[in-house]
Structure 1
Amino acid sequence: MMNRRLLLRTSSAAVAGALGAAALPDTVAAAAEATPGPSARPIGGSGPTDGVTRRLLQEHPSPAEGWEAVQTLVEIPRHKESGRHSHPGVEVGYIIRGDVLMEFDDRPPLRLRTGDPFFIPEGAIHNARNVGTVTTMMLSTYVVDATKPLVTTY
């Protein structure tokens, strides 16, 4: 049986969000089940999110019942973006490399550069747009509701 939360974390969030995990090709589901440890998979198909990856680094129960801590390494190629999405908890991040314009639905955008930390509140709809000259790398740590998908796309 495919772990839906793992699929949403490590494969195409745009596809999984729009179609549901069962609609993904068997080869994608089988690869996700067969891949031990952290893996990186593209977040979108062709278009502005093409080539974006979210690698699951670690996942642990939180001290607060029903919550978990999840850490990922996100890579966004030049001229690409994460796509509008939210998380069922907070995101605490750090820009390892690159320049990002973090766009929000409810506040002005935030320009982030190599070495900058960031914080995104629970449920905030946001989009990370690579505005630099290299592939952006972000370390993102989430404290999220364990019963919900890590990413909800819009």
Structure 2
Amino acid sequence: MTSFRIAAAAVIVVAGALSAQAVQAQSSGVHRTDLQRHDLSAPGWEALQVRVDIDPGVTAPNHRHPGEEIIYVLEGALQYQLEGQAPVTLKAGDVLFVPAGVPHSAKNVGTVNGSELATYIVEKGKPLVEPVP
């Protein structure tokens, strides 16, 4: 019974930490909505689709992913900065490929909501987003 209580307490602590991270991301003007997640036929890899909404004037800070990100801009004007490349501004209907591990940021440079559909092909079990200073 003691092992069960320890495991239950660990689950509560982890859930609380994840909730705090989600609240922090949501309150910063970057809003993520997980749409789907599936294992791939390649062992150890998964695909995720996420809608990312960015409030006007807000920047999603520099970060990287443990795999590729394929971006389709749904609305607004988003400026992407990939490490080692010139910034590029995309509008609804434009696409962008972000190679695995490449630090990048996104800024809503418009006056309305900026939104993208992000499809990730990533290593399973690793954090999806890693902040980069």
- TM-score clears 0.5: yes
Specify which of 67, 83, 98 is matched with residue 105 of structure 1. 83
- Supply the AA of the counterpart residue of 1:139: L
Corresponding residue pairs, total: 122
Taking a change above 3 Å as real, the CA distance of residues 42 and 55 of structure 1, as seen in their structure-2 partners, is farther
Name the structure 2 match of 1:10: none
Asked if residue 138 in structure 1 is aligned to residue 120 in structure 2, the reply is no
CA distance in 1, matches of 2:57, 2:24: 15
CA distance in 1, matches of 2:24, 2:30: 5
- Supply the AA of the counterpart residue of 2:77: D
Question: Which runs of 5 or more structure 1 residues have no equivalent in the other structure?
Answer: 8-21, 33-39
CA distance in 2, matches of 1:67, 1:110: 29
Question: Which runs of 5 or more structure 2 residues have no equivalent in the other structure?
Answer: 1-10
Which structure would you say has the larger RCO, counting Cα contacts within 8 Å and 6 or more residues apart?
A: 2
SS of alignment partner, residue 82 of structure 1 = strand
Name the structure 2 match of 1:76: 54
Name the structure 2 match of 1:114: 92
**8 Å CA contact 2:26, 2:32 repeated in 1:** no
Name the structure 1 match of 2:103: 125
Taking a change above 3 Å as real, the CA distance of residues 152 and 67 of structure 1, as seen in their structure-2 partners, is same
- Supply the AA of the counterpart residue of 1:91: E
Matches within 5 A, 1:5-154: 24=17, 28=19, 43=25, 50-154=28-132
Report the Cα offset of residue 147 of structure 1: 2.2
Report the Cα offset of residue 134 of structure 1: 0.6
Q: TM-score with structure 1 length normalisation?
A: 0.71
CA distance in 1, matches of 2:100, 2:71: 13
Encode CA deviations 1:118-153: one digit per residue, 9 max, x unaligned: 110000100001001111010000000002100001
Q: Which runs of 4+ in 1 moved over 3 A?
A: none
Give 1 or 2 for the bigger CA radius of gyration: 2
CA distance in 2, matches of 1:105, 1:74: 20
Taking a change above 3 Å as real, the CA distance of residues 43 and 87 of structure 1, as seen in their structure-2 partners, is same
CA distance in 2, matches of 1:42, 1:51: 9
Q: TM-score with structure 2 length normalisation?
A: 0.82
CA distance in 1, matches of 2:82, 2:116: 17
